[in-house]
Structure 1
Amino acid sequence: MFNKIPDRRGTNSYKWDLKREDIIPLWVADMDFEVSEEIKEAILKRVKHGVFGYTFRPDSYYNAVITWFKEYHDFEIKKDWIVAVPGVVPGISFAIQAFTLPGEKVIVQPPVYRPFYEVVVNSGRRIVYNNLIERNGYYEMDFEDLERKIDKDVRMLILCSPHNPVGRVWKKEELEMLGEICLKNDIIVVSDEIHADIIFNNKHRVFLSIDEKFYNNTIVLTSPNKSFNIAGLQSGNAIIPNKLLRNRFERIIELQHLGHSNIFSIVATEVAYTKGRHWLDKLLDYIYENALFVKKFFEKELNIDVNLPEGTFLMWIDFRRIQNPHQKLLNAGVWLNDGVEFGPGGEGYQRMNIATSREILKEALNRIKTIF
């Protein structure tokens, strides 16, 4: 099912069409696989209707989201907690505008997804770095550093859970500790959980599920975009139990006139969450085998230890023994994300997207071998 992928060249693909044709792109985090047949069929049915006017989300959409979280993540949410957003990063932007003022501070935990920095800076807020601690390729939160850096101007912390790019799936006690610190200091937690469904030999815990007291200061942002490869449809949801926070968040969306919905994102999300479990299970098996394949190659052929991701379809690889690795990889015909994009602690690392066919991975790895 996943070994054969469509040719994405010439489709205005952000991943495949931005560099020269001989480069294998393993960078931006979308998958090369076709979506499930159920999603394709549902979208085609909607296309055949032929009218694509303004649309609202029906009850069946909300029921699909609620059921997915209950069955897949063992967390029960209520319909009125759900606020539709056009994606997780826009959701973070809305939260910053709703709950912070220009000049106030937002904490991020680098090395982390680059748009976190961009959305903070572009909103006129200040970044506070709470760097992750790395030990032999395994990353942990630095709670002592976090508490030292909190002052009266810190109003928000953006959590990446599971973490992109280091692949951690945070343990319950880690999330609990983080939540206690933020609650004590009246800090809003915005938890980006877009990779929550892509977990290996582990369990993702929705941040809101840790303790009901965190309902008062937490927004969870989710989306089927990564799990079901529908990022181009711009689908997402904010889960906000606290009514006051939810009203302020919704007000920002109203002010920007972003309340209308993408017709196809509604269809795809509902079908993904109601009929996508079997496809996702097979996807996870394939991606995990890809991760094992990459790990074995680096260790056997290049004598580099690589940690398996606990979650996401991304691998965080240490290239520090190579000078200027990103350019050398491009020269060899492989495009990874340069670790410096992810902020402090990313220097010398590269992020590899392994959600592609085994044959493409094999060719890319053989090219990578040439730079060593």
Structure 2
Amino acid sequence: MNDNKDVNIYDFDRVVDRRNTDCLKYDFAKERTGREDLLPLWVADMDFRLPEEILEDLKARIAHGIFGYTDPKDSYFDALNNWIEKHYGYSVARKWVTVAPTVMFALANCVNAFTEAGDKILIQQPVYYPFGEVITDNGRILVDSPLKIINGHYEIDFSDLEKKISDPELKLFILCNPHNPVGRVWTREELLQIAILCVKHDVILVSDEIHCDFIYPGHEFTSTLSLGTAYRDHLLVLHSPTKTFNIAGLQIANAIIPDKKLRLKYQKANAANGYSQANIIGLKALESVYTKGERWHQEMLQYLKGNVDFVRDYIQEHLPKIRLIEPEGTYLLWIDFSGLGLKDDELEDLIVDKAHLWLDPGAIFGPETAQFERFNIACPRKTLEKAFRQLKKAVYELEQENQVKADQAS
């Protein structure tokens, strides 16, 4: 391996065929959309292959041939803590950590651990839509403090947030940091305001930080657990390497809960759900990626920045009526199509039937964003180029059709 830090050693331009691997992104188009001619840029996983040094660790574990019940040992917690210390600036005691299969499983545990049926839970839409599902499906009441967009930049409406968080029936606040889908990386000042409000009004803050390793130049990630000990009896972090290293299929996450009272409540809910030992390969994968994956991670971030730059430039040159919400983090781009002047159903017809793209439509993230689309750019550049060529062609043909209709009408 070439260890020259100025030379990239990993090939993110390589296109890996994921079809016929039971891949949700590629192999379930017929079941989910009714068609098979769509280029998928929807579900949040990456089309990048793990490096050989990590695959070798997984192969070695599989070669043992026995896959019984397994719990994490010191090496697991050391790998987790070392990564967190290096990247987020705080330390994790082993006793704080409860292993989970996924962040969303852990989030459902939090809903059941810290609230009762009929309690209110706050989210900030537009936001990852399973947040709303895990609230309402568990018989809780969803309260939205919507983000406001000012000059193309999403901000927290702290006046509205405090008004809603002060409701004595509101027990839990689910925070997304970095925020999916709008791409904000909340500043330390913003997070301190949130933490202060939660302590003041006795609301538990659950911070989903699964996208925390995707931060673009000029921005800095702040974990809520780095804000100071004064807030830790009201907050916990849900964390996972599954986005960072594209290992969602191995199902490994961690609930990091410094406060003993909160931790015991969470663990009781965990037991009630019948979950104990984690996926054996997931445990090994976390340890491997956090000890051997730094170089791959840094080169991947550099590649993603290039993808963001490509999309920004392409839109400016070829699709001037479409607006990119400049991302501060994540590999999910939030793009505003309202400048095309289409009705909501016409926009979906443009994306699906004319551009032949499979995206996540904005309407699923909140009631006010039906004119947005979420694009997953964690793919080889040539895949992204193909997607935007298809979009450009569809928009051009639509505008030509509309011009003909306008000429005929006049």
TM-score, length basis structure 1: 0.98
Counterpart of 1:251 (choices 232, 256, 268) is: 268
State the alpha-carbon separation in 2 of the partners of residues 197 and 350 from structure 1: 23
State the alpha-carbon separation in 2 of the partners of residues 190 and 137 from structure 1: 27
- The CA deviation at 1:88 is 0.6
Say yes or no: does 1:13 pair with 2:23. Answer: yes
Which secondary structure does the structure 2 equivalent of 1:70 belong to?
helix
Distance 1:291 1:215, change over 3 A: same
Unaligned runs of 5+ in 1: none
Say yes or no: does 1:76 pair with 2:98. Answer: no
State the alpha-carbon separation in 2 of the partners of residues 233 and 38 from structure 1: 17
Which secondary structure does the structure 2 equivalent of 1:7 belong to?
coil
Asked if the contact 2:362–2:372 (Cα under 8 Å) also holds between the matched residues in 1, the reply is yes
Say yes or no: does 1:3 pair with 2:13. Answer: yes
Instruction: Find the counterpart in structure 2 of residue 365 from structure 1.
Output: 388
Counterpart of 1:281 (choices 295, 298, 315) is: 298
Instruction: Find the counterpart in structure 1 of residue 186 from structure 2.
Output: 170
Instruction: Find the counterpart in structure 2 of residue 63 from structure 1.
Output: 78
Q: CA RMSD in A?
A: 1.0
Counterpart of 2:350 (choices 328, 333, 350) is: 328
State the alpha-carbon separation in 1 of the partners of residues 181 and 61 from structure 2: 36
Instruction: Find the counterpart in structure 1 of residue 3 from structure 2.
Output: none
Which secondary structure does the structure 1 equivalent of 2:26 belong to?
coil
Asked if the contact 2:88–2:226 (Cα under 8 Å) also holds between the matched residues in 1, the reply is no
In structure 1, give the amino acid aligned to 2:211.
H
Runs of 4+ in structure 1 deviating by more than 4 angstroms, as ranges, are none
State the alpha-carbon separation in 2 of the partners of residues 246 and 310 from structure 1: 31
State the alpha-carbon separation in 1 of the partners of residues 126 and 231 from structure 2: 25
Instruction: Find the counterpart in structure 2 of residue 347 from structure 1.
Output: 370
Which secondary structure does the structure 2 equivalent of 1:84 belong to?
strand
Say yes or no: does 1:224 pair with 2:209. Answer: no
Instruction: Find the counterpart in structure 2 of residue 186 from structure 1.
Output: 202
State the alpha-carbon separation in 1 of the partners of residues 348 and 79 from structure 2: 42
Instruction: Find the counterpart in structure 1 of residue 408 from structure 2.
Output: none
Instruction: Find the counterpart in structure 1 of residue 230 from structure 2.
Output: 213
Instruction: Find the counterpart in structure 2 of residue 152 from structure 1.
Output: 168
- The CA deviation at 1:90 is 0.7
Counterpart of 1:97 (choices 104, 109, 112) is: 112
Which secondary structure does the structure 2 equivalent of 1:123 belong to?
coil
The sequence identity of aligned pairs, in percent, is: 42
State the alpha-carbon separation in 2 of the partners of residues 281 and 251 from structure 1: 38
Which secondary structure does the structure 1 equivalent of 2:142 belong to?
strand
Which secondary structure does the structure 2 equivalent of 1:227 belong to?
coil
Asked if the contact 1:326–1:336 (Cα under 8 Å) also holds between the matched residues in 2, the reply is no
TM-score, length basis structure 2: 0.89
State the alpha-carbon separation in 2 of the partners of residues 107 and 265 from structure 1: 31
Say yes or no: does 1:241 pair with 2:263. Answer: no
1:280-319 alignment, distance < 5 Å:
280-303=297-320, 304-319=322-337
Bigger Rg, which one: 2
Unaligned runs of 5+ in 2: 1-10, 30-34, 396-410
Residues 61-84 of structure 1, C-alpha deviations (whole Å, 9 max, x = no match) = 011101100011111121111111
- The CA deviation at 1:11 is 1.0
Asked if the contact 1:295–1:307 (Cα under 8 Å) also holds between the matched residues in 2, the reply is no
